């Protein structure tokens, strides 16, 4: 019966250790910088328009065909405030289909798309699957508010030049504490 006693000692020893679970909605585990939640579009704060030109490279590369992109002429190029000749017109991503493979980020020529690495991208339960189809405004919202610091290797460095306050807010949101 020594084996039985050994089992009981093992369980006794784990009783002495700290719990490994946590109070989930209140206490988030810090999530790593490279976290890949769902793809988001980035906002060019310098010119005040999206980086995305609607070139559809991501749409073609998407393995589960969850994206729909259209392009239009950029009116601000005519005004002379922007260098982009074309700009995204509409952009839908069906988060219900997306499999978070990161390929869209890799193929993007303009570093216009990034994976959401904050908690906002993880808790996305919805009552209706249509609520998971995100349109252009929803995709840009987080970046426009300065709430995302994309990982440098996903997107170019220049996309990370965000206002410091926004960076701070994003880090808090991501459970990483103030910078």
User: Does the protein bind other proteins through residue 103 (CB under 8 A)?
Assistant: yes
> Cβ contacts of residue 158 below 8 Å, gap of 6+?
111
Q: Does 109 bind other proteins (CB under 8 A)?
A: no
Binding range to other proteins, per CB under 8 A, among 48-56, 72-80, 101-109, 166-174: 101-109
> Would you say 135 and 90 are in contact if contact means Cβ atoms under 8 Å apart?
yes
Residues 112 and 59: beta-carbon distance below 8 Å: no
Go through 12-47 and write b for each residue having 16 or more CB atoms within 10 A of its CB, e for each that does not: eeeeeeeeeeeeeeeebeebeeebbbbbbbbbbeee
Give the one residue of 45, 100, 171, 176 binding other proteins; rule: CB under 8 A. 100
Q: How far is the CB of 82 from other proteins (least distance, A)?
A: 28
The answer to whether 116 and 38 are in contact (CB under 8 A) is yes
Stretch that binds other proteins, among 69-77, 82-90, 94-102, 137-145 (CB under 8 A): 94-102
User: φ and ψ at 153, to 5 degrees?
Assistant: -80, -20
Q: What would you measure as the largest C-alpha separation in the chain, in angstroms? A: 86
CB-CB contact of 110 with 52 (8 Å): yes
Task: Point out which residues pair with 67 in neighbouring strands.
Answer: 93
Residue 130 binds to other proteins (criterion: CB under 8 A): no
Sign of the CA dihedral with 14 first, then 20, 21, and 27 last: positive
Could you give the string, one character per residue 143-162, with x where binding to other proteins holds by CB under 8 A and - elsewhere? --------x-x---------
The interface region with other proteins, picked from 33-41, 45-53, 83-91, 141-149 by CB under 8 A, is 33-41
> Contact between 179 and other proteins (CB under 8 A)?
no
8 forms part of the interface with other proteins (CB under 8 A): yes
Which range in 34-42, 50-58, 80-88, 124-132 contacts other proteins by CB under 8 A? 34-42
* # binding residues, other proteins (CB under 8 A): 38
Residues forming the site for other proteins (CB under 8 A): 1-4, 6-15, 17-23, 31-32, 34-36, 61, 63, 99-103, 106, 115, 117, 151, 153
């Amino acid at each position: 019966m020594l084996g039985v006693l050994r089992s009981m000692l093992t369980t006794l020893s784990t009783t002495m250790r700290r719990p490994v679970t946590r109070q989930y909605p209140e206490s988030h585990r810090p999530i790593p910088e490279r976290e890949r939640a769902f793809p988001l579009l980035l906002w060019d704060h310098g010119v005040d328009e999206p980086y995305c030109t609607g070139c559809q490279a991501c749409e073609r590369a998407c393995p589960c065909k969850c994206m729909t992109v259209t392009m239009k002429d950029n009116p601000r190029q005519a005004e002379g405030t922007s260098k982009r000749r074309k700009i995204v017109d509409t952009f839908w991503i069906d988060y219900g289909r997306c499999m978070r493979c990161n390929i869209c980020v890799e193929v993007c020529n303009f570093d216009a798309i990034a994976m959401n690495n904050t908690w906002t991208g993880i808790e996305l339960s919805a009552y209706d699957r249509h609520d998971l189809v995100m349109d252009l405004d929803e995709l840009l919202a987080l970046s426009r508010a300065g709430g995302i610091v994309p990982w440098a290797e996903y997107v170019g460095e220049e996309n990370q030049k965000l206002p410091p306050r926004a960076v701070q807010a994003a880090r808090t949101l991501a459970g990483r504490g103030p910078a």
